[in-house]
Amino acid sequence: MMQRGDPDSLSPPSMDYVRLTMTLDPLSEETYDAILFPQGCTIENWQGKETAHTWENLVKTAFGAFVADWTAERFIESYASHADQFDPKGFFLIKKKNEFIASAFAWLPTSKADSGQVHWVCVLPQYQRQGIGKNVVKLVLRHHALKNRCKKAHLVTESFRTNAIAMYEKMGFKINKF
């Protein structure tokens, strides 16, 4: 069931929601071309433990209570320490002036996967609706296509994230049927 009210509220909805997987097939050049961020934005990749702390602060602001139990240490243990599935060059932070404002990263469910996962997409609330979300997803798609030679991409989201789902659908992702 979809949540009523603010669809992308930061806290988990009180009503039930379901986890959805979405697939982009094929992962073609048109799905990740023309990457363009607002003026003044720069892109940074993973640089180690310090980046994990930046990531933690960013996701806690963007996702709120939903990610309360995610820490820098948990990120490293769950993702960054898996060298066959996590590539520092497939991790993206978007910075404007001295502030980190958005992030997403490429994850390979297995080292031989032909579908690359787009993981932990977020943009700080005050920077949303400027095309930053779409373009950070494109960075991940380009990495999966060119570096991991993936033919498809997928992601996992929650049914109450209607803004995110609208963005992914606009980019060509389709919700997988159960």
Ligand X SMILES: CC(C)(COP(=O)(O)OP(=O)(O)OC[C@H]1O[C@@H](n2cnc3c(N)ncnc32)[C@H](O)[C@@H]1OP(=O)(O)O)[C@@H](O)C(=O)NCCC(=O)NCCS
Options 41-49, 76-84, 85-93, 156-164: segment touching ligand X (CB under 6 A) = 156-164
Residues whose CB is less than 8 angstroms from the CB of residue 124 and which lie 6 or more positions away in sequence, other chains included:
58, 61, 62, 99, 101, 102
Q: Report d(CA 173, CA 31) in Å as an integer.
A: 10
Among 131, 151, 152, 172, binds ligand X (CB under 6 A): 131
Q: Report d(CA 131, CA 101) in Å as an integer.
A: 12
Least distance between ligand X and beta carbon 77 (Å) = 21
157 binds ligand X (CB under 6 A): yes
With the C-alpha atoms ordered 76, 62, 178, 15, is the resulting torsion angle positive or negative? positive
Q: Which residue is nearest to ligand X (CB)?
A: 133
63 binds ligand X (CB under 6 A): yes
**In which residue are the tokens 């934005």 written?**
41
At 128 the three-state DSSP class reads coil
Site string for ligand X, 9-48 (x = CB under 6 A): ----------------------------------------
Contact 143, 84 (CB under 8 A): no
Between strands 115-123 and 152-158, the pairing is parallel
Q: Name which of 27 and 58 has its Cβ closer to ligand X.
A: 58
Q: Name which of 1 and 166 has its Cβ closer to ligand X.
A: 166
Least distance between ligand X and beta carbon 70 (Å) = 13
Residues within the interface to ligand X (CB under 6 A):
8, 62-63, 121-123, 128-134, 157, 161, 163-164, 166-167, 170
